[in-house]
């Protein structure tokens, strides 16, 4: 729950700012991109100058939200001067400096006032004003409340972005963070004319041949631990090349083993080109995986979390598996 004094300060800051920059975490998901677009649309309606730039490129499946072409891949030479000129920076869907990547480093050097809007467990004080509701189904739900408070016209691209947030972060209303409020938000957006079938198709039914190939590779690599309670697999750079798949296409792959009878926790170990391993953890709801991710500098939710570890798959996999097995002791 966000108190009224915090809301008042957020609204006041938005009203006074003329030049605003917006960013989110590395490897952004639907809630991150949707929240950025939604906040930018709210500010544009108020006549504000808005710039969005992220450490990571936008995954292609969310390109449909970037119709204005406002979301840019961070370039220090172009974007650091914009930070210096900005009245306000808004950080969305993350409260961890490390997961802001190069943009986070630039923000730490800047004197710009920062607002963080998030629904995760807070790990760092990345902003002077933290607007956090851990009961919210998604960051977009908080932005939806913000839109109402400032009297925004919730239609068109703004409404589509907000619906993408709640659709993707609840796993199409299947995950344990699906609340009555999440359903009411979706219902209201549909009443406002959101093309919900089109958005679902764009997000979940645009698989490339490369991604299907990657899914097949993941299934072939599937392993089980603790009597079948843990399912895990690897995605290597060789797999990505063999399938002609992009790294962003690993998104949602950890959901696949969740459907297997008896599995409680699934883990994807995805090798990056920079020498890291992205660890994605999912739980059916009886075991929390947040503390495991947090132990290795990551974060997220009790039942969906992740971390990014320096090292090879051979180094990272046994360390994480040992901790995962401890969840059932």
Whether residue 305 contacts residue 278, with contact meaning beta carbons closer than 8 Å, is answered with no
Residue 133, exposed/middle/buried by CB under 10 A (0-12, 13-18, 19+)?
Answer: middle
Token pair for 91: 């950080």
In percent, the amount of the chain with pLDDT more than 70 equals 100
Q: Which domain holds residue 134?
A: 4-204
Q: How far is CA 116 from its chain centroid?
A: 14
Domain count, the chain: 2
**Short-list 166, 50, 143, 154, CA closest to 92:** 143
Q: Which of 97-106, 132-141, 264-273, 298-307 has the lowest mean pLDDT?
A: 298-307
Mean pLDDT confidence for 197-210: 95
Question: Same domain for 103 and 134?
Answer: yes
CATH number at residue 56: 3.90.1640.10
Mean pLDDT confidence for 14-41: 97
Question: Same domain for 61 and 197?
Answer: yes
For 235-256, write each residue's pLDDT tens digit: 999 999 999 999 999 988 998 9
Q: What is the band of 59 on the pLDDT scale with cuts at 50, 70, 90?
A: very high
Whether residue 168 contacts residue 203, with contact meaning beta carbons closer than 8 Å, is answered with yes
Token pair for 123: 């790990």
CB half-sphere exposure, 300, CA atoms < 13 A: 27
Q: What is the band of 179 on the pLDDT scale with cuts at 50, 70, 90?
A: very high
Question: Same domain for 109 and 182?
Answer: yes
**25 vs 296: CA distance, rounded Å:** 17
- Sign of the C-alpha dihedral computed for residues 33, 35, 37 and 40 taken in this order: negative
pLDDT score of 67: 85
Where do the DSSP E strands lie in the chain?
Answer: 19-24, 49-54, 71-73, 88-92, 114-118, 129-132, 223-225, 230-235, 265-271, 276-283, 299-300, 304-310
pLDDT score of 98: 87
Residue 193, exposed/middle/buried by CB under 10 A (0-12, 13-18, 19+)?
Answer: exposed
Mean pLDDT confidence for 182-187: 99
Q: What is the mean pLDDT of the chain?
A: 96
pLDDT score of 160: 98
Question: Same domain for 296 and 258?
Answer: yes
Three-state SS at 279:
strand
Q: What is the band of 285 on the pLDDT scale with cuts at 50, 70, 90?
A: confident
For 112-161, write each residue's pLDDT tens digit: 999 999 999 887 789 999 999 999 999 999 999 999 999 999 999 999 99
Question: Same domain for 178 and 84?
Answer: yes
19 or 123, higher pLDDT: 19
Residue 91 has pLDDT above 80, yes or no: yes
Q: How far is CA 315 from its chain centroid?
A: 26
Mean pLDDT confidence for 245-270: 94
Question: Same domain for 161 and 51?
Answer: yes
Mark which of 178, 204, 230 sits at the end of a domain.
204
Residue 299 has pLDDT above 90, yes or no: no
Bridge partners, 71 (sequence order): 52
Whether residue 268 contacts residue 87, with contact meaning beta carbons closer than 8 Å, is answered with no
pLDDT score of 122: 84
pTM here is 0.91
Three-state SS at 177:
coil
């Amino acid at each position: 729950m966000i108190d009224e004094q915090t809301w008042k300060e957020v609204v006041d800051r938005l009203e006074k700012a003329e030049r605003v920059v917006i960013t989110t975490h590395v490897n952004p998901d639907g809630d991150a991109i949707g929240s950025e677009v939604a906040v930018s649309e709210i500010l544009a309606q108020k006549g504000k100058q808005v710039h969005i730039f992220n450490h990571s490129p936008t995954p292609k499946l969310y390109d449909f939200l970037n119709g204005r072409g406002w979301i840019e891949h961070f370039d220090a030479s172009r974007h650091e001067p914009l930070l210096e000129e900005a009245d306000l920076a808004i950080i969305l869907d993350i409260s961890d400096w490390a997961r802001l990547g190069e943009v986070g480093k630039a923000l730490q050097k800047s004197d710009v006032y920062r607002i963080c809007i998030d629904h995760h467990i807070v790990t760092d004080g990345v902003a002077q004003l933290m607007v956090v509701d851990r009961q919210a189904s998604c960051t977009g739900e908080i932005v939806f409340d913000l839109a109402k408070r400032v009297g925004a016209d919730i239609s068109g691209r703004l409404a589509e972005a907000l619906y993408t947030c709640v659709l993707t972060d609840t796993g199409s209303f299947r995950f344990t963070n699906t609340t009555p409020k999440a359903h009411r938000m979706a219902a209201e957006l549909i009443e406002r004319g959101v093309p919900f079938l089109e958005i679902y198709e764009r997000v979940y039914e645009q698989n490339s041949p490369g991604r299907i190939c990657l899914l097949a590779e993941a299934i072939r690599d599937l392993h089980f631990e603790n009597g079948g309670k843990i399912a895990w697999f690897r995605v290597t750079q060789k797999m990505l090349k063999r399938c002609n798949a992009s790294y962003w296409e690993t998104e949602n792959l950890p959901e696949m083993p969740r459907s297997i009878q008896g599995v409680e926790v699934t883990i994807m170990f995805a090798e990056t080109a920079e020498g890291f391993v992205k660890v994605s953890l999912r739980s059916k709801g009886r075991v929390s995986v947040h503390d495991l991710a947090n132990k290795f500098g990551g974060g997220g939710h009790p039942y969906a979390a992740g971390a990014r570890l320096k090292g090879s798959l051979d180094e990272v996999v046994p360390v994480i598996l040992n901790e995962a097995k401890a969840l059932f002791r």
